[in-house]
Amino acid sequence: MTWQADNPIKVAIVGVGNCSSAFIQGLTYYRKFGADAPGLINVDIGGYKVTDIVPVAAFDVDARRVGLDLSEAIFSGANIAYRYPDVQVPHSGVTVQMGPVMDGVTPALAEFVEVADKPPVDVAKVLRESGAEMLLNFLPTASAEAARFYAEAAIKDAQIGFINGMPELIVCDPAYQQAAIENNVPLIGDDVKSQLGGTAIHRALLQLLKARGIHVERTYQVNYAGNTDFYNLVHRGQSKHKTKQEALSTLVSPETEISTGFSYVELMGDRKTAIFFVDGVNYGGAPLHFEAKLEVEDSANFGGVIADMVRFMKIGLDRGVSGPLHSASAVLTKHPPISIDEDGAAVQQLQEFVDGDRER
């Protein structure tokens, strides 16, 4: 098996951590078992299949990943993402390149990342020479400076699409929206709503309660896992709290109290647990309490959404759309530039985009 495709969608990745691992392993899984094997949100998006996605460049800063082929790097260092049974990731021919470290690795993350003693490559040049059509940003939470550096390299220098998978507000920033329009490139972001993640479940729960006339007084969710991202969230997670809470706030009244919590529980590895709590009132003010629990492989839950985002981005590129792709961002991200309150309406708009009846 190789990474060939008749009509490849060429992607570059920054941050070869657990989410990259799950994304790449998943691409291999569908190459082996067929693009219509179970587990995808969409099998076909505007004629594009998940098997059309081909990695052409990757950047990291960890000495145990930089210089390796992507197929080995995704299993190296502190990466503990779910290992897909029966999947052998083939040699990709993509060597992980050293990026500028900036604020990507804090002292807290030093336990997980061994910074390579190498000079950074010229990221924009590598992007241009690789033929990448888009850059997928999987940097650690709160890498504000590094995220902006890569966004600029993609949007302004290499002039390719930019998908922001992490909770730094870039696609929502009017300056980047303007830059994308000037450079004729599309954007999707910010931060990924996992395939069946805490945000999606919490939103569905709140929509159900609203539809049944339940007034939500307070609601909170507690998340824990033992991967690098959770360790990082505990230490630097303010931007994550913000994107998660904003994804919920549009569904409840302004006075409703919303809280989100993260804990690092090492032995859980990449398995994430999310527990949801709601206190509300129903008929005549009678009290109501609701709890629900989800257990899921955290990075795999991210990979499937990226597999869709890449194909929506490709449609935007094919059509020469520039600036934020609003319908894709509203459906697939936690913090889109324009939120659409009803998830059904957002999905409908995204279908209109795919059908060519909506520009973005």
Contact flag: residue 146 with ligand NAD (CB under 6 A): yes
- Minimum CB–partner distance for residue 318 and ligand NAD (Å): 26
**Region label for 122, one of left (φ > 0), alpha (ψ between -120 and 50) or beta (otherwise):** beta
Contact flag: residue 239 with ligand NAD (CB under 6 A): no
- Binding ligand NAD (rule: CB under 6 A), the pick from 56, 89, 132, 140 is 140
- Binding ligand NAD (rule: CB under 6 A), the pick from 26, 55, 161, 165 is 165
From CA 337, how far away is CA 326, in angstroms rounded?
7
Residues 267-306 that bind ligand NAD (CB under 6 A): 298-299, 301-302
| Closest listed residue to residue 104, CA positions, set 81, 123, 89 | 123
- Binding ligand NAD (rule: CB under 6 A), the pick from 5, 35, 63, 101 is 101
- Binding ligand NAD (rule: CB under 6 A), the pick from 9, 49, 60, 328 is 60
- The two tokens of residue 100 are 């500028």
From CA 167, how far away is CA 191, in angstroms rounded?
5
Torsional sign, CA 170, 172, 178, 183: positive
Contact flag: residue 227 with ligand NAD (CB under 6 A): yes
Q: Quick check: helix, strand or coil at residue 96?
A: strand
Q: Mutual orientation of helices 18-33 and 298-318 as an angle, nearest 10°?
A: 70
- Minimum CB–partner distance for residue 141 and ligand NAD (Å): 4
> Considering beta carbons, is residue 10 or 236 the nearer one to ligand NAD?
236
Region binding ligand NAD by CB under 6 A among candidate stretches 171-179, 202-210, 225-233, 252-260: 225-233
> Considering beta carbons, is residue 48 or 138 the nearer one to ligand NAD?
138
From CA 327, how far away is CA 355, in angstroms rounded?
12
| Closest listed residue to residue 141, CA positions, set 205, 75, 234, 45 | 234
| Closest listed residue to residue 296, CA positions, set 273, 264, 267 | 273
**Exposure b/e, 37-74, CB count within 10 A at least 16 = b:** eeebebeebeebbbbbbbbbbbbbbbbbbbebbbbebb
Contact flag: residue 262 with ligand NAD (CB under 6 A): no
Contact flag: residue 16 with ligand NAD (CB under 6 A): yes
- Binding ligand NAD (rule: CB under 6 A), the pick from 11, 13, 15, 28 is 15
The residue with its CB nearest to ligand NAD is 17
- Minimum CB–partner distance for residue 231 and ligand NAD (Å): 8
> Considering beta carbons, is residue 53 or 216 the nearer one to ligand NAD?
53
The answer to whether 127 and 155 have CB atoms below 8 angstroms apart is no
- Minimum CB–partner distance for residue 114 and ligand NAD (Å): 9
Per-residue binding string, ligand NAD, 185-224, x by CB under 6 A, is ------xx-x------------------------------
Contact flag: residue 243 with ligand NAD (CB under 6 A): no
**Exposure b/e, 163-186, CB count within 10 A at least 16 = b:** bbbbbbbbbbbeebbebbbebebb
Could you list the residues that contact ligand NAD (CB under 6 A)? 14-19, 59-62, 99-102, 104-105, 113, 138-141, 143, 146, 165-167, 191-192, 194, 227-229, 240, 298-299, 301-302
